[in-house]
Copies of this chain bind each other. A is one copy, B any other.
Amino acid sequence: MLETKAQRQSDRRAEILDAAERCFARAGFHRASMQDICGEAAMSPGNLYRYFPSKEALIAGICERNRAEAVASFALVDQAPEFFEGLAGLARHHLVDRTQDEVALCSEIMAESRRHPDIARLYQDIEKDIRDRIAGMLKQAAGRDEIRQDLDLDAAASVLMLLGDGMSWRRSVDPSFDAEKVLPLILAMVRGLLAKPDDDAPVRGERS
């Protein structure tokens, strides 16, 4: 009974975040007014404010949800039988399979983090988390001798994040951009960067 109450609260919060996501993806943080979000969530402002204390809290809530999702997705790499295959799966999941709205929202968060100090902190926290996971992933691969040993893991992690940002950004800004078409080139490039020099052979192939 007291279980259900907390559950209801949590559900309502999730609904509100869903509505906010739609509004933000459509119009951006600044142009999406609380009234819009209230409309989308079929709820009055007064009531909405009982669930989230501010607009910023909505953004933070969305960030947290995304973070949980992003972190979970790293399991893909661990489960894969071979490093590059796992990496390819991760890349596809993050950069191709996401909907346009999800990508747009991601850009929106990135852009907003440049402005709102609190969001910036939250975002950089998430970034650090992801970065650590990438670094860990690379380290593990190096330990298994699946990638070259003479690699600046830190710089390599930067490159991977940079590629992710670039893909996301291009998708959200250029409607004609075809992620599906570009991904193989990206993966080939990354393989060239990370793979051990002697098994460069399948460098152009997307799958073994």
Contact = CB atoms under 8 A, between A and B. Distances in A.
Contact of A172 (B114, B152, B172): B114
Interface string A161-193: 111111101101110011001100110111011
Contacts of A155: 181-182, 185
A173 B169 CA distance: 13
> What interface size band does chain A fall in?
35 or more
A114 B108 contact: yes
Nearest to A124: B174
A5 interface: no
Interface stretch (A23-31, A76-84, A85-93): A23-31
B165 A169 contact: yes
A159 interface: yes
Given A28-B115, A166-B169, 12 more contacts: A104-B114, A107-B111, A107-B114, A110-B173, A113-B173, A124-B174, A152-B181, A152-B185, A158-B181, A165-B165, A189-B189, A192-B203
4 smallest A-B Cβ distances: which pairs?
Answer: A166-B166, A111-B111, A192-B192, A162-B166
6 contacts: A27-B115, A127-B173, A152-B181, A158-B181, A162-B169, A189-B193
